[in-house]
């Protein structure tokens, strides 16, 4: 029977935080946009948001929960992984935490949209077309802000993956996927910035797959399996139990 060691408890805490990040992130960044079907027609975009205002608001709330959990996640991972590289773990935390204020500020663009569609008194002079165009501008600003966030989301996966690989307390394949995913995310982010038609290039959709597999896989492993106890720690833990029993 496996003991519920401090390492496993810490790993599962990190896993639960990661699960919150993954679930709320998928809801806010993938499900909500897929239901709103936001295209390039400002009038159609405004009509879609009006028709699904509750879902749009839920997406904003999910984003806020996601970023709050993401603020705590690297701190839990630091406690778990810092014995295998304290400086690397500190860099991991710094890169992850740096994205949080940027993410919160970027959500402000979606709050602007709520302000616009709720018809404040000072907006009554705007024509419907002008209002729709302003909504579109706010959504485009949000989309561009996500590219900046992705730079940090890519960078933190590098040291995270390295520590997972080096530690041996999680499957090494997860560490490899995270490091490859870091490069894929960075390529996407800088590709968007450097080339206008980057999204139309062949194979672009494949760049995020390693990161998705690595992050979701790590999340589930931490939640379900916890983390392997280092050999010396496991021995000390079992010895302590034997002493306590005697």
Give tens-digit pLDDT for 138-150: 999 999 899 889 8
Given a cut of 50, the residues of the chain with pLDDT beneath it are: 1, 233-246
Look at residue 225 and tell me if it is in a domain: yes
Q: What is the DSSP string of 105-161?
A: HHHHHHHHHHHHHTT-GGGTTS-HHHHHHHHHHHHHHHHHHHHHHHHHHHHHHHHHH
Look at residue 159 and tell me if it is in a domain: no
Look at residue 95 and tell me if it is in a domain: yes
Look at residue 179 and tell me if it is in a domain: no
Alpha carbon distance 246, 244 (integer Å)? 5
Mean pLDDT, the chain, rounded, equals: 87
* pLDDT 10s digits, 40-52: 888 888 889 989 9
Containing structural domain, residue 24: 6-151+218-245
Look at residue 10 and tell me if it is in a domain: yes
pLDDT for 86 equals: 95
Residue 97 parent element (H or E):
helix 86-117
pLDDT for 131 equals: 85
The size of the chain, in residues, is: 246
pLDDT for 12 equals: 94
Distance of CA 145 to the CA centre of its chain: 14
pLDDT for 3 equals: 61
Look at residue 183 and tell me if it is in a domain: no
The number of distinct structural domains making up the chain is 1
pLDDT for 118 equals: 81
pLDDT for 241 equals: 37
Give the torsion sign (CA, 168, 172, 178, 183).
Answer: positive
Look at residue 170 and tell me if it is in a domain: no
Look at residue 129 and tell me if it is in a domain: yes
């Amino acid at each position: 029977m496996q003991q519920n060691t401090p390492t496993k408890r810490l790993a599962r805490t990190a896993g639960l935080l990661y699960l919150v990040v993954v679930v709320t992130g998928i809801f806010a960044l993938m499900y909500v946009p897929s239901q709103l079907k936001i295209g390039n027609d400002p009038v159609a975009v405004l009509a879609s948001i009006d028709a699904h205002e509750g879902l749009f608001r839920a997406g904003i709330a999910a984003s806020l929960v996601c970023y709050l959990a993401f603020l705590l996640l690297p701190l839990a991972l630091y406690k778990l992984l810092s014995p295998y590289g304290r400086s690397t773990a500190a860099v991991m935390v710094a890169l992850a935490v740096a994205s949080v204020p940027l993410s919160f500020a970027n959500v402000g663009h979606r709050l602007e949209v709520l302000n616009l569609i709720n018809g404040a008194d000072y907006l009554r002079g705007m024509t419907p077309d002008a209002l729709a165009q302003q909504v579109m501008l706010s959504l485009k600003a949000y989309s561009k802000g996500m590219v900046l966030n992705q730079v940090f989301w890519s960078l933190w996966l590098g040291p995270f993956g390295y520590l997972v690989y080096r530690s041996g307390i999680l499957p090494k394949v997860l560490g490899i996927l995270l490091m490859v995913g870091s490069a894929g995310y960075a390529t996407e982010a800088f590709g968007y910035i450097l080339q206008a038609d980057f999204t139309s290039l062949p194979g672009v959709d494949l760049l995020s797959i390693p990161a998705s597999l690595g992050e979701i896989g790590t999340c589930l492993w931490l939640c379900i399996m916890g983390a392997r106890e280092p050999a010396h720690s496991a021995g000390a833990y079992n010895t302590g139990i034997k002493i306590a029993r005697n």
